[in-house]
Amino acid sequence: MARSGMLATLAALTCALAAFVVPAAATPSVTFQARAVPIPGFPHTGNLFGAGAMFRLDYMIAGTEFDGAPWPLVGISVQLPAGTKIRPAGFPTCPEPLAEQSGSEACPRRSLLGSGAGVASVAPATGGRLAEPFEVTPLVLPGPGLELRASGHSPLSFATPWPGVLTAGAAGSAPDLTTTIPTTAPEGAAGPSSIESLDLTLGGAGRSVGTPSTTPKARYFFALPKTCPLGGQSVGAVLTFAQGGDPSKPLGVSVSSRIPCPRRALVTPPPPSPPPPPPLPQTLLPGTGGVATAPANGACAGVRRLIVHILRPKGLRYRTAAVYLNGRRVALVHRPRVSARVVLSAPGGVGAGLRVTVTTSTGRRLTGVRVYGPCAAVAGTAAALAAQARFARASALIKGRFS
């Protein structure tokens, strides 16, 4: 009996102490994912080193602290990857009074900086809670301003501006976007709404005005860093909630995500290759009796491919045609072939001697010689004058050997 009485006393004390214990305040659970995505209509953008990109920020919020829903969200602060460049120059802005009176439809098209959507839990005045889909339109305001306009249409209708400030930060630091979300209850609601999901895509691009001699260049509001740390680019966010729906009792929840490092660098299309030089006219080689032709002497003795043609005049047949370059045979043509390709090269800028010997079916030999000068890059320089002198000596030697 004594033991049972003691257990009853301990049970009573436990119940009494439990009545004085204050339950710990629950915190909303936040899931965050950040990505760098391409800009529609602009190739070579997205998750590339130094490229223009749009940031897609996905938030999922879960909780039951506020009448079965998360506490109202009153602010978001996002830190973009360190080294991200912000280039608002050239992007038109939407005056704040115009955005307030006429909405985002009256703003310049290029002042719209992305898009967004979400779902909020609202409490109608009739009781219960309903899911309210809403849209978010980011707008560029004068100065470092960035406003997110949230609008819903069913079951309640509302349009609420979320004022924000975009800070570029020092070189190499992380740009910061801070947004304030009012806790004003929508018309027809019993209290402020609770955001349960939010999907934002921020960024944009435009083209500069070109001139007749230049092409328009693409300009990007956000440009990714040209380097990437091990593990990817870090994106941090702090979501501030109003405890019990009271904005004077803020509670911050920190989350982070990583954007994978790009797999390849920014691809720049190669410049168009220059058109090939026009083919040199073919002229008859003296001494071949009109049987062989070769490019005229306008060709220089750099590395260049020439074609030697063997003609077949009526009544004349040939067995072989040998092509020599500086005394060395480089091609031997047999019937029925009628051409030979020769790489015309001469180290040191000396020039090159081309000799073609055609042997007819009767055993007769027809020989033609043509000398090509060196390719002097800059006329009048010491190298060009020395090359001309060497060519004069070599030309006399070549003609003497082949004549």
Confidence of residue 149 (pLDDT cuts 50, 70, 90): confident
Q: What distance in Å separates the CA atoms of residue 159 and residue 137, rounded to the nearest whole number?
A: 11
Positive or negative: CA dihedral 384, 386, 392, 393: negative
For the ranges 6-10, 55-59, 221-225, 303-307, the maximum mean pLDDT occurs at 55-59
Contacts of 260 by beta carbon, 8 Å cutoff, 6+ apart:
47, 232
- Per-residue pLDDT, 293: 80
State the residue for tokens 């006219």. Answer: 281
Q: Given a cut of 70, is residue 113 above it in pLDDT?
A: yes
If you ran DSSP here, which 8-state letter would residue 245 be given? G
- Per-residue pLDDT, 384: 53
Q: What distance in Å separates the CA atoms of residue 54 and residue 220, rounded to the nearest whole number?
A: 9
Give the mean pLDDT of 361-376: 78
If you ran DSSP here, which 8-state letter would residue 66 be given? B
Nearest to 360 by CA among 310, 323, 293, 295: 310
**Could you tell me how far CA 153 lies from the centroid of its own chain?**
37
Helix H or strand E segment including 97: helix 96-102
Q: What share of the chain is helix, strand, coil (3-state, %, to 5)?
A: 15, 40, 45
Q: Given a cut of 60, is residue 399 above it in pLDDT?
A: no
Q: What distance in Å separates the CA atoms of residue 330 and residue 66, rounded to the nearest whole number?
A: 91
Query: How many C-beta atoms surround the C-beta of residue 33 within 10 A?
Result: 15
Give the mean pLDDT of 36-53: 92
Q: Given a cut of 90, is residue 238 above it in pLDDT?
A: yes
Q: How confident is the model over 83-93, as pLDDT tens digits?
A: 899 888 888 88
* Phi then psi dihedrals of residue 114, to 5 deg: 110, -155
**Could you tell me how far CA 376 lies from the centroid of its own chain?**
42
Sheet holding 54-62, edge to edge: 29-37, 54-62, 194-202, 114-122, 130-140, 146-152, 158-162
Residues comprising the chain, all counted: 403
State the residue for tokens 């849209």. Answer: 135
Q: Given a cut of 70, is residue 225 above it in pLDDT?
A: yes
Q: What distance in Å separates the CA atoms of residue 330 and residue 323, rounded to the nearest whole number?
A: 6
Give the mean pLDDT of 149-154: 86
* Phi then psi dihedrals of residue 99, to 5 deg: -65, -35
- Per-residue pLDDT, 240: 95
Q: What distance in Å separates the CA atoms of residue 305 and residue 310, rounded to the nearest whole number?
A: 17
Least confident of 79-93, 158-172, 177-191: 158-172
Please give the mean pLDDT across all residues of the chain: 78
- Per-residue pLDDT, 377: 47
Give the mean pLDDT of 109-118: 88
What share of the chain has pLDDT > 90, as a percent? 26
Q: How confident is the model over 8-44, as pLDDT tens digits?
A: 543 443 444 333 333 345 789 999 999 999 999 898 8
State the residue for tokens 């529609």. Answer: 40
Q: What distance in Å separates the CA atoms of residue 137 and residue 139, rounded to the nearest whole number?
A: 6
Query: How many C-beta atoms surround the C-beta of residue 343 within 10 A?
Result: 10
Q: Are 195 and 65 in contact (CB under 8 A)?
A: no
Q: How confident is the model over 302-347, as pLDDT tens digits?
A: 546 678 887 777 777 788 888 888 778 888 887 766 777 777 655 5
Q: What distance in Å separates the CA atoms of residue 10 and residue 296, rounded to the nearest whole number?
A: 117
Least confident of 105-109, 149-153, 247-251, 348-352: 348-352
What share of the chain has pLDDT > 70, as a percent? 73
Q: How confident is the model over 262-309, as pLDDT tens digits?
A: 876 544 556 777 776 666 677 787 777 777 787 776 655 554 667 888
Q: Are 291 and 311 in contact (CB under 8 A)?
A: yes
Confidence of residue 374 (pLDDT cuts 50, 70, 90): low
SS3 294: strand
